[in-house]
Amino acid sequence: MKTDKQTDRQTALRIFFLMALVLVFAATSGGSLLAAPKKLATAKAGDCAACHGADKVLPDGHAPTAAMNGEACLGCHQKGSPLALYTKMPLSHFHQLKGITCQACHTDLNAPQELSTEQCLACHGSFETVAARTANVKPQNPHSSPHGNTYTACDLCHHQHAKSENFCAQCHNFKFVVP
C-alpha cells in the first residue's frame, strides 16, 4: 500500500515530466506551441493531415487535396498567376508533390543527413546551368555571384523545412523573391 507521501512524489514526478515534455515540444517547434508537423515519410504528398493533423494549413473551402499530386495543384495554381504557390509553401512540399520523396534526398531515414550543394545540383544541373535559368533577374543574377560559387550554395537561400531567405540582402538592396 502506498503512503500519501509516495503518491505525492509520484504526482509531482508526473507533473514534472509532463512539463518537461511540453518544454521540449515548444523548443523543437521553434518556440511556438503549435504542433510541429510529423515529417512522415510515408505520407502522400497531398495528404496534409497525415503530418499536420488537425492544424489548419489550407484556406477555408479549399478542395480536398489528399489524393492530389503537383500536377493536380497546377489545375488552379498556375505558374505566374496570383494563385501560384511559389514562396507559399516550404520547398520540401514542392519536392514531395513532384514525387521527390524524403528518401530521395536523405537516403537513410533513420538518420537523415544534411544535404550538400552537390546533391542539389545532381538534379538541378551545374552552377552554370542554374545561373543560366535566372540570367535575366534584376538587378543581379542571384545564381551568378561575383563572390564565387561558395556564395551560391543552395541552402544559403533555399530551405526545405524552414522559410527560405534572401541571403544577398544582408549586404545588398536586392529584393529577390526566394522560393
If one counts every other C-beta atom within 10 angstroms of the C-beta of residue 163, the result is 9
- Total of residues contacting other proteins (CB under 8 A): 17
Q: How far is the CB of 177 from other proteins (least distance, A)?
A: 18
Give the sign of the dihedral formed by CA 90, CA 95, CA 97, CA 101.
negative
For position 3 contacting other proteins by CB under 8 A, the verdict is: no
According to CB under 8 A, which one of 77, 149, 158, 166 is a site residue for other proteins?
149
Tell me how far apart the alpha carbons of residues 140 and 169 are, in angstroms, rounded to a whole number: 12
For position 30 contacting other proteins by CB under 8 A, the verdict is: no
3-class SS of residue 32: coil
For position 172 contacting other proteins by CB under 8 A, the verdict is: yes
Residues 113-142 that bind other proteins (CB under 8 A): 138-140
For residue 33, which of 20, 42, 24 has the smallest C-alpha distance?
24
Residues listed for the chain: 179
The one segment of 1-9, 67-75, 97-105, 171-179 that binds other proteins by CB under 8 A:
171-179
Return residues touching other proteins (CB under 8 A): 138-140, 145-151, 153, 156, 167, 170-173
